[in-house]
């Protein structure tokens, strides 16, 4: 369906929902999900202090949020040790990625990314008339050499996207490897470094914050370890001139008042974050053990999920996913070969993983017979 | 400040905050606002049932919102009596206006609007490389004849924006006048009818919902009479092919889980809405009386604010606004001549208007001496 009123660019875009939400699965399957461990949400929830702050803010929700997001932006700058002018807050990382694509991609421009990586930046690049140049993963990690080569090979390359730690595989590079990559990327190419999972990464994974570098912007979020996926608050760290550009294109009142309240309270409770990260680590280990009990291999992970290699091809892994779904276990999976041999399981509560432990062997049996 | 990474279009855009928020005024002035009656928020608050629903949802905020916004979209469709496929939910009307501009404006295309009308759609049109063709108000109302003539005169006109009831003047046209306008606009021109203030309009103001018309999209919001400005939930009603186009460009997880919960609860409490509208009507009358006590004329209003004619030029009205601001009274004003002779006062609580009643005479005296 389309409309004669659309621009030629808009009329040519596919209508899509990048991820099918668990609620949509429930509507389709006709039964509730028993273990919601597919969207890399934080089933451990936000800090109790965050919940209290949100509940206290509810009666004041008739007020618009501060369009300058001043308190949260300042708190983030202090927390990160960078100037206020180097931080932008947006409607989740997805919202920021849309704005970044808009700022840097003119029709015909190229973005380099890994084949099978998080697709939302690609969606926005295509949406602004850009082209994606895909680089295959290598050894279940984003291929830094390959990405670098593509930024040099593609004449109209404007941006290279990579995530560290990586989604959907959970793999990561060391800070030193990343720093060498960053130094080697041509200066005219923007590096969009997605650190959505930075809180769960081992020490030595995150490059130092160099907010003066003109061709680097990093994105982080309150949706993962902080447990605020339902509020959509993400932030970017970059050079001040780049950050200022958001004020030319953003939805100025887009970050909700409640989101600002919640994120600020979340940032202030680092003890909760520490505790959640410990629980995530334990859950990753448990997922590994559950996988091993069924003869499957869990990949090492620096994130709040684990990619589990189902040991055969993508069709088989998809059959496993469908069989889990039919049993009320919501997981997701990479779709690009060769990542597609895996299913991706989020670090859930012990009760969620009990259900997984029960149902995975049955799902594998069902997939075998499929 | 800019960045070499920006597209030529993005590099040429002004960095702006369309409206200075009251929090920014407080930071600048160094004292709290005593009467927050400038942003057309609903100081009466959301329904107590909405507050309860939000508080109950806070612990579940680790879950992403439904990207299909299914429950709210269905409830809106039922409430409005239009098919589900004709409704889109977005991150406030501002967010929807940005997406509409993106869908219909290619560089060089033209949008027709009234000089001094709500500026956010203009911001987005400019942001996508479009040009604005301004039509002056006539008699403090948007000039339907003038807007119509401009849609015919401007060769690259793609869209005409108007609001009914109108912001910032509070004026309105009858449904019959609007219907005649809609019928007369050339079919290749999209009509963007902003009905942010529809809940406070008198009977006979809103054209019947004709969701099959290909060149009409209407936008409404939970930010005004429903009292949810801080949650950013707006919706659009339009032809199904146009509505489907949003799925090609929107931030699919952008409408927060909390916003969906709050808006759904708000829609279900129509008794609260009725009560708020009565309080708004009383507040409008009171603002009129306060203005008259100082020899000023309040314009008739179909919205949750009142434009008060300060009786002289724009500089004088600005001096009145500044004098009110110095006294802790936050109001706004139109900036385009001849609307700029007015200040715009939102329907506040009786306590807010008590402060206004105290401070307006003093502010006028201060402005006289300025």
Q: Which of A220, A235, A268 is the last residue of a domain?
A: A268
Residues A55 and A153 in one domain: yes
Would you call B197 helix, strand, or coil by DSSP? coil
Residues A56 and A165 in one domain: yes
Residues B209 and B330 in one domain: no
- Number of structural domains in chain B: 2
pLDDT of residue B114: 98
- Of the candidates B20, B2, B92, B65, the one whose C-alpha atom is nearest the C-alpha of residue B330 is B20
Chain A residues in contact with B67 by the CB 8 A cut-off are: 17-19, 21, 24
Whether residue B307 is contained in a domain is answered as yes
Q: What is the pLDDT along chain B (370 residues), one digit of tens a residue?
A: 789 999 999 999 988 777 889 999 999 999 999 999 999 999 999 999 999 999 999 999 999 999 999 999 999 999 999 999 999 999 999 999 999 999 999 999 999 999 999 999 999 999 999 999 999 999 999 999 999 999 999 999 999 999 999 999 999 999 999 999 999 999 999 999 999 999 999 999 999 988 899 999 999 999 999 999 999 999 999 999 999 999 999 999 999 999 999 999 999 999 999 999 999 999 999 999 999 999 999 999 999 999 999 999 999 999 999 999 999 999 999 999 999 999 999 999 999 999 999 999 999 999 998 6
Chain B residues in contact with A159 by the CB 8 A cut-off are: 5
For the segment A318-366, what is each residue's pLDDT rounded down to a tens digit? Answer: 999 999 999 999 999 999 999 999 999 999 999 999 999 999 999 999 9
Residues 151-180 of A with CB under 8 A from B: 158-159
Separation in Å, CA of B214 to nearest CA in chain A: 7
* Contact at CB, B241 and A39, closer than 8 angstroms: no
Q: Does A46 touch chain B (CB under 8 A)?
A: yes
Residues A211 and A71 in one domain: yes
CB B149 within 8 A of CB B122: no
pLDDT of residue A17: 73
Distances (CA, A) of B345 to A66, A248, A329, B324: 19, 28, 53, 11
Q: Does B25 touch chain A (CB under 8 A)?
A: no
Q: What does the DSSP assignment read for A208-275?
A: P--TT-TTEEEEEESSSTT--GGG--EEEEE-HHHHHHGGGTS-TT-S-HHHHHHHHHHHH-HHHHHH
Q: Which of B209, B239, B268 is the last residue of a domain?
A: B268
**Element of type H or E holding A35:** strand A35-36
* Contact at CB, A13 and B248, closer than 8 angstroms: yes
CB B324 within 8 A of CB B363: yes
**Element of type H or E holding A320:** helix A314-326
Residues B106 and B217 in one domain: yes
Q: Does B73 touch chain A (CB under 8 A)?
A: no
For the segment A96-148, what is each residue's pLDDT rounded down to a tens digit? Answer: 999 999 999 999 999 999 999 999 999 999 999 999 999 999 999 999 999 99
Chain B residues in contact with A95 by the CB 8 A cut-off are: 251, 254
Query: Which of B1, B2, B5, B159 best tests the A interface by mutation, with the highest count of A CBs <10 A?
Result: B5
CATH number (domain holding residue A71): 3.40.640.10
SS3 content of chain A, % helix, strand, coil (to 5): 45, 15, 40
Residues A40 and A54 in one domain: no
Q: If you average pLDDT over residues A263-284, what whole number do you get?
A: 98
Residues 237-266 of B with CB under 8 A from A: 239-242, 244-245, 247-249, 251-254, 256-259, 262
Distances (CA, A) of A333 to A23, A344, B141, B193: 17, 5, 55, 42
Whether residue A9 is contained in a domain is answered as no
CATH number (domain holding residue A302): 3.90.1150.10
For the segment A243-263, what is each residue's pLDDT rounded down to a tens digit? Answer: 999 999 999 999 999 999 999
User: Within B134-248, where are the H helices?
Assistant: 144-153, 175-184, 240-245
- Within B143-261, strands assigned E span 157-163, 190-194, 216-221, 234-238
Length of chain A as a residue count: 370
pLDDT of residue A370: 66
Whether residue B10 is contained in a domain is answered as no
Residues B86 and B123 in one domain: yes
CB B266 within 8 A of CB B260: no
Q: Quick one: how far is CA A321 from the chain centroid?
A: 20
Residues A41 and A58 in one domain: no
User: Does the interface predicted TM-score (ipTM) exceed 0.95?
Assistant: yes
Cis peptide before A52 (omega within 30 of 0): no
Among B57, B95, B262, beta carbon nearest to A251: B95
Whether residue B5 is contained in a domain is answered as no
Would you call B307 helix, strand, or coil by DSSP? strand
pLDDT of residue B16: 79
CB A249 within 8 A of CB A313: no
CB B302 within 8 A of CB B6: no
CB B54 within 8 A of CB A61: yes
Whether residue A4 is contained in a domain is answered as no
Q: Quick one: how far is CA B138 from the chain centroid?
A: 20
- Of the candidates B110, B106, B99, the one whose C-alpha atom is nearest the C-alpha of residue B158 is B110
* Contact at CB, B127 and A248, closer than 8 angstroms: yes
Residues B255 and B320 in one domain: no
pLDDT of residue A18: 77
pLDDT of residue B18: 77
Alpha carbons B23 and B227: distance in angstroms, whole number: 18
Whether residue A283 is contained in a domain is answered as yes
Q: Is the pLDDT of residue A1 over 80?
A: no
Residue appearing with tokens 């009914």? B164
Residues A329 and A198 in one domain: no
Ramachandran assignment for B290, one of left (phi > 0), alpha (psi -120 to 50 degrees), beta (any other): alpha
* Contact at CB, B223 and A64, closer than 8 angstroms: yes
Q: Which of B242, B268, B294 is the last residue of a domain?
A: B268
Whether residue B332 is contained in a domain is answered as yes
Domain limits for position B360: 16-45+271-369
Residues A84 and A130 in one domain: yes
Whether residue B107 is contained in a domain is answered as yes
A178 pLDDT tier (thresholds 50, 70, 90) = very high
Residues A143 and A121 in one domain: yes
């Amino acid at each position: 369906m389309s409309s004669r009123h659309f621009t030629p660019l808009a009329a040519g875009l596919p209508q899509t929902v990048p991820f099918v939400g668990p609620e949509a699965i429930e509507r389709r399957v006709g039964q509730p999900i028993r273990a919601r461990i597919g969207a890399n949400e934080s089933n451990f929830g936000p800090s109790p202090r965050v919940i209290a702050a949100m509940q206290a803010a509810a009666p004041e929700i008739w007020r618009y949020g501060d369009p300058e997001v001043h308190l949260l932006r300042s708190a983030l700058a202090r927390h990160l040790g960078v100037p206020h002018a180097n931080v932008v807050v947006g409607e989740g990382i997805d919202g920021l990625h849309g704005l970044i694509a808009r700022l840097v991609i003119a029709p015909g421009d190229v973005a380099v990314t890994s084949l099978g990586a998080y697709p939302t930046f690609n969606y926005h690049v295509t949406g602004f008339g850009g082209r994606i140049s895909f680089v295959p993963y290598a050894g279940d990690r984003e291929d830094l050499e390959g990405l670098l080569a593509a930024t040099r090979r593609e004449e109209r390359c404007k941006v290279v996207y990579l995530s560290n730690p990586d989604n959907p595989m959970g793999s990561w590079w060391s800070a030193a490897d990343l720093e060498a990559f960053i130094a080697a990327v041509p200066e005219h190419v923007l590096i969009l470094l997605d650190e959505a999972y930075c809180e769960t990464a081992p020490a030595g994974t995150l490059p130092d914050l160099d907010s003066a570098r003109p061709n680097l912007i990093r994105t982080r979020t309150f949706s993962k370890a902080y447990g605020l996926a339902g509020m959509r608050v993400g932030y970017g760290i970059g050079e001040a001139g780049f950050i200022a550009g958001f004020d030319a294109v953003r939805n100025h009142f887009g970050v909700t008042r409640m989101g600002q309240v919640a994120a600020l309270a979340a940032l202030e409770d680092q003890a909760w974050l520490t505790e959640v990260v410990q629980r995530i680590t334990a859950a990753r280990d448990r997922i590994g053990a559950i996988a091993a009990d069924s003869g499957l291999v869990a990949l090492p992970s620096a994130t709040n999920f684990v990619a589990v290699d189902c040991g055969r091809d993508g069709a088989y892994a998809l059959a496993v996913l469908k069989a889990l779904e039919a049993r009320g276990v919501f997981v997701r999976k990479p779709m690009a070969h060769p990542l597609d041999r895996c299913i991706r399981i989020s670090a859930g509560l012990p009760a969620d993983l009990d259900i997984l432990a029960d149902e995975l062997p049955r799902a594998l049996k069902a997939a075998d017979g499929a």
